[in-house]
């Protein structure tokens, strides 16, 4: 229903009289007189009934014309006063009879003039009659009369709904954070080099002034081998780009604008280790291709072990930040910001209704996952430096299917190799095939993916305490992480 004309005061015509010649004659008995300063209320129309169906209403029509006034009395006809009321019981004397009340539509008998109150009394009577008779324009007539009474000052009327031209959002509001961040976020179009030209849309953000853009590996994977990439800024400028490096396991990639413009503003990076559950979040991306979309939420959990796939057979693992900010396909690679506008994560995966993690066309159900920015920053720096990712490893093959009781070291590795690499980190720490790792660096481990997610939050050379079970007994040891370069 349109509310375009509701609540708007109608100014009176300064040349109009303070009241019509005679009150209108209603078709039905009049309602009770309103209290002082209150106009009679119109009867509600049927379409406003509470049980009417909700629908789009047409604009509010103009007010119907006022009912025709009763014919004015002949200018020379005598005015007949009403019959005096009967005397009180007991005949004349005190108290005197009350004044007669004229019937509706009859002229109101004149009262004796009071010289001291003649001017103001007539003004008040005119305003009251206007309020009773004119209804919707009573306020306008009252304003006109007040202007005549106060002739020494002029009035300035400000129309409601007009926002000041200098209106600005306060720093720290979602609107202010989004306005500052959007120019540094790009929508990425990736197309493969094949005849089909397959690809998709994702998001990235400016990492430095040299034109490096950080995003997800699965956003640019289709264009990595002979395909094409483009990045479009929020102002519509589009630039060709190329892949600098990709890390499939981390699901992080860095691309670079081929002709980077001057004045690029990198987004500030926060500290994901200091994020707390309940902190506000702002996600920016292109869900389903709708560029420059901003959604909000909170950090709903931390250290979520997430294993996701890009549909091409490769899997990635992260100890993710969980957020309920709306994230959908196309948000991938976009920044997850804190309330101050600093990047705390890279939006990477959503929980699908099918029960798995990854990109799902089903849309957001309030479970989104982001790579912590501390991990993403380390990976991005490595990719910019060498073009290849470096992974920390323990030198053991674990079961990736079982879940609930820890990550069990397999009896045999892939292709018949040993499950525990000789002289590797796990072997040096005393771990054996069949051991079940239940804790890593103080975090509980319930599966192989959760173990890998925790390992990849560290760097090669880190010493990490491990809790494991062997033959029904719990033990602890310390492992010094090794490294592996590249995804192959």
Residue 1's CB: how many other CB atoms inside 10 A?
13
The structure tokens 């959990």 sit at: 301
Told to judge if 279 belongs to the known catalytic residues of this protein, a careful annotator would answer no
CA atoms of 131 and 60, how far apart (whole Å): 23
Q: What SS3 class is residue 264?
A: coil
| Cα–Cα distance, 139 to 340 (Å, whole number) | 48
Handedness of CA 183, 193, 370, 353 (dihedral sign): positive
Q: Catalytic pick from 251, 324, 338, 435?
A: 251
d(CA 206, CA 339): 19
Please tell me the distance from the alpha carbon of residue 320 to that of residue 304, in angstroms, as a whole number: 5
Q: Is 251 among the residues known to form the active site?
A: yes
Contact indicator for 319, 454 with CB cutoff of 8 Å: yes
Share in percent of the chain as helix, strand, coil (round to 5): 20, 25, 55
d(CA 212, CA 242): 10
Q: Which residues have C-beta within 8 Å of that of residue 137, sequence separation ≥ 6?
A: 10, 12, 130
Q: Which residue has the tokens 């004149």?
A: 110
Query: Is position 324 annotated as part of the catalytic site?
Result: no
The Cα-based distances of 68 to 20, 77, 339 in angstroms read 11, 22, 63
Q: Please pick, among 300, 332, 348, 364, the residue that the annotation labels catalytic.
A: 332
Q: Which of 192, 212, 218, 447 is catalytic?
A: 218
Instruction: Give Cα separations from 431 to 113, 309, 386, 470 (angstroms).
Output: 112, 29, 33, 9
What whole-number distance in Å separates Cα of residue 231 and Cα of residue 212?
11
10 neighbors 140 (Cβ within 8 angstroms): yes
| Residues annotated as catalytic (active site), given as ranges | 218, 251, 332
């Amino acid at each position: 229903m349109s509310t375009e004309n509701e609540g708007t005061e109608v100014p009176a015509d300064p040349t109009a009289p303070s009241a019509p010649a005679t009150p209108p004659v209603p078709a039905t008995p009049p309602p009770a007189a309103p209290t002082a300063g209150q106009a009679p209320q119109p009867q509600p129309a049927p379409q406003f009934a509470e049980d009417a169906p909700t629908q789009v209403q047409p604009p509010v029509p103009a007010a119907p014309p006022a009912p025709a006034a009763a014919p004015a009395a002949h200018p020379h006809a005598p005015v007949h006063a009403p019959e005096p009321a009967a005397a009180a019981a007991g005949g004349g004397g005190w108290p005197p009879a009350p004044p007669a009340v004229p019937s509706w539509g009859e002229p109101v008998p004149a009262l004796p003039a009071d010289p001291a109150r003649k001017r103001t009394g007539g003004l008040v009577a005119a305003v009251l009659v206007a309020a009773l008779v004119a209804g919707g324009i009573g306020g306008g007539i009252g304003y006109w009369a007040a202007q005549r009474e106060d002739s020494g000052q002029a009035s300035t009327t400000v129309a409601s709904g007009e926002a000041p031209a200098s209106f600005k959002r306060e720093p720290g509001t979602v609107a202010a954070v989004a306005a500052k961040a959007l120019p540094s976020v790009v929508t990425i179009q990736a197309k493969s080099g094949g005849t089909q030209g397959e690809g998709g849309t994702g998001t990235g953000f400016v990492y430095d002034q040299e034109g490096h853009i950080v995003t997800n590996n699965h956003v640019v994977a289709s264009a990595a081998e002979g395909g094409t990439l483009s990045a479009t800024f929020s102002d519509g400028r589009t630039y060709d780009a190329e892949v600098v490096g990709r890390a499939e396991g981390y699901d992080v990639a860095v691309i670079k604008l081929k002709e980077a413009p001057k004045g690029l503003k990198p987004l500030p990076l926060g500290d994901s280790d200091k994020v707390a559950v309940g902190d506000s979040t702002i996600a920016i991306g292109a869900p389903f291709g709708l560029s420059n979309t901003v959604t909000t939420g909170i950090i709903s959990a931390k250290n979520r072990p997430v294993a996701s796939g890009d549909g091409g057979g490769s899997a990635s693992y992260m100890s993710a930040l969980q957020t309920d900010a709306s994230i959908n396909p196309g948000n991938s690679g976009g920044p997850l910001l804190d309330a101050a506008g600093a990047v705390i994560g890279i939006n990477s995966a959503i929980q699908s209704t099918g029960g798995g993690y990854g990109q799902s066309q089903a849309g957001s159900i309030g479970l989104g996952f982001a790579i912590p920015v501390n991990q993403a920053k380390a990976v991005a720096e490595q990719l910019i430096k060498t073009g290849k990712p470096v992974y920390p490893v323990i030198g053991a093959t674990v079961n990736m299917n079982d879940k609930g009781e820890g990550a069990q070291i397999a009896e045999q590795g892939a292709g018949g190799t040993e499950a525990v690499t000789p002289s590797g980190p796990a072997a040096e720490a005393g771990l054996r095939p069949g051991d079940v790792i239940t804790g890593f660096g103080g975090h509980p481990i319930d599966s192989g993916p959760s173990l890998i997610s925790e390992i990849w939050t560290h760097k090669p050379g880190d010493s990490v305490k491990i809790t494991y079970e062997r033959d029904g007994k719990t033990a602890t040891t310390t492992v010094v992480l090794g490294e592996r370069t590249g995804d192959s």
